[in-house]
Amino acid sequence: MQQLAAVIGSPVRHSLSPAIHNAAFAHHGDAWVYLAFEVQPQHAAAAVDAMRVLGISGLSVTMPHKEMVLGALDDLSDDARLVGAANTVVRDSSGRLIGHNTDGAGCVDALQRAGADLGSVAVVGAGATARAVVVALVGAGASVGVVNRTAERRSIAVRIGNSVRSNSTNAIEPEDLAAFPTIINTTPVGMHGLGADDHTNATPFDVSLLHTGQFVLDAVYHPLETTLLRAVRERGGTAVDGLEMLCAQAARQQELWLGRRPDVALMRAAALAELAASQR
């Protein structure tokens, strides 16, 4: 019997997740299919409840729903509870819906694949994705600095990091970024297609702070080469695009659903093929 998995969010019309997940399902011979459902924010919890009625086996949750779905779940993993957001829902053997968060682990996986220095890492932003990244980095042994335009949200991310490991996470200022060997942008700055708030040509911080030898991961993957990543390469750094993180966290999702982690390179190739087809 074929199993259904899906992503909910708004907007999701250009989501690469169906291509990524379906390629892995096909490669492994799984009787699963993955779809995308446009769900308005006020209906996020109802969409999770629909898993019970429709028999959906796995769910991905993207912006802006990661915090909105929590009340509809039966339980949370430790990471999802700590972060206060879930991007993955698993139906367990008894039918209970369990929320997990694979964003942080996927980010760390992507950086490790790129050979980044994870000893000292700066995180730009303090939203749900940033909090997940901070938790995963601290768990991997990193010392973390968090920069964010809102001090209150920054302090929450710092507190969460320090709850995982004391004295691991500190608040920093934008000018401190030059001292970090690895920087992660978790903000939407640089993303295409945000209407009046389109930030395509903007960067989340002053790129003159970048220098040779730094690794920079931009969680934005549309466009694939953001203005920030182009600046990283121009200044002799190593750029890690958001598609690497997207595929790595998707591989972690499939591990939760099916007990095996697919090849990230296979998933990335499927995403790139989908992007190429959409541009014809």
Q: So which residues are the catalytic ones? A: 66
Q: Which residues contact 159 (CB under 8 A, 6 or more apart)?
A: none
* Residue 147 binned pLDDT confidence (cut-offs 50, 70, 90): very high
Locus of tokens 């993207």: 62
pLDDT of residue 193: 61
The answer to whether 66 touches 37, Cβ cutoff 8 Å, is no
Distance CA 59, CA 257 (A): 9
Main-chain dihedrals φ then ψ at residue 61, nearest 5 degrees = -125, 120
The answer to whether 34 touches 22, Cβ cutoff 8 Å, is yes
Distance CA 105, CA 87 (A): 12
CB neighbours (10 Å) of residue 48?
Answer: 25
pLDDT of residue 21: 98
Render the burial of 142-151: b for 16+ CB within 10 Å, e for the rest.
bbbbbbbeee
pLDDT of residue 197: 52
Omega before residue 223 within 30° of 0, cis: yes
* Domains of the chain with CATH codes: 3-101+253-278 (3.40.50.10860), 104-240 (3.40.50.720)
Strands 97-100 and 88-91: antiparallel
pLDDT in tens, 172-189: 999 999 999 999 999 998
Closest listed residue to residue 60, CA positions, set 275, 246, 268, 266: 246
pTM for the predicted model, two decimal places: 0.94
CA-derived radius of gyration, the chain = 18
pLDDT in tens, 50-104: 999 998 999 999 988 999 999 999 999 999 999 999 999 999 989 999 999 999 9
pLDDT in tens, 111-139: 999 999 999 999 999 999 999 999 999 99
